[in-house]
Structure 1
Amino acid sequence: MTPNERTPERDWFKSSRSSNNAACVEVRFMGEAVAVRDSKDRGGPVLDFTSQAWSEFIASLRADR
């Protein structure tokens, strides 16, 4: 199965703070999992995280501000 078969385009989004240069990551929430991919290579690899791991990652980013 390819990443795009597994993760339909309509469910992906990127931050409203991202620029228009396509140098971003896109995220998709899938129940208890979160998928992340490179916006420049939408057919490329996808990183999958548990919802808890993703929440902890985001919390660590916010704490470092």
Structure 2
Amino acid sequence: MTIADLSQARWRKSTRSNGGGQCLEVGYVSEVVGIRDTKDRHGGTLAVDRATWASFVRTIKQGHLDG
């Protein structure tokens, strides 16, 4: 398994975040997208390739994950 180096990632949080403490940040670097909890930025980070992230976002926008 390869560990992604996200030390140079530019992290951003959704403009729709309401300050309720349940936010995620997304960071992009090269071909890797990192996802982390804003409450624990030094905790675990999920790293996926850009194609996987794009597919996930597309699925959300299409409403396929609505419960």
Normalised to the residue count of structure 1, the TM-score between the two structures is 0.80
Match of 1:7 in 2: 7
- List structure 1 runs of 4+ shifted beyond 2 angstroms: 5-8
Matching residue's letter, 1:7: S
User: Please, which runs of 5 or more residues in structure 1 have no aligned partner?
Assistant: none
Normalised to the residue count of structure 2, the TM-score between the two structures is 0.78
Q: Counterpart of 1:22 in 2: which secondary structure?
A: coil
Alignment of 1:1-65 (within 5 A): 6-8=6-8, 11-64=10-63
Q: Does the C-alpha gap of structure 1 residues 11 and 63 become closer, same or farther in structure 2, counting only changes over 3 Å?
A: same
What fraction of aligned residue pairs are identical, expressed as a percent? Answer: 32
Which structure has greater strand proportion? Answer: 2
Say how many residue pairs are matched.
60
Matching residue's letter, 2:28: F
Q: Does the C-alpha gap of structure 1 residues 6 and 62 become closer, same or farther in structure 2, counting only changes over 3 Å?
A: closer
Which structure has greater helix proportion? Answer: 1
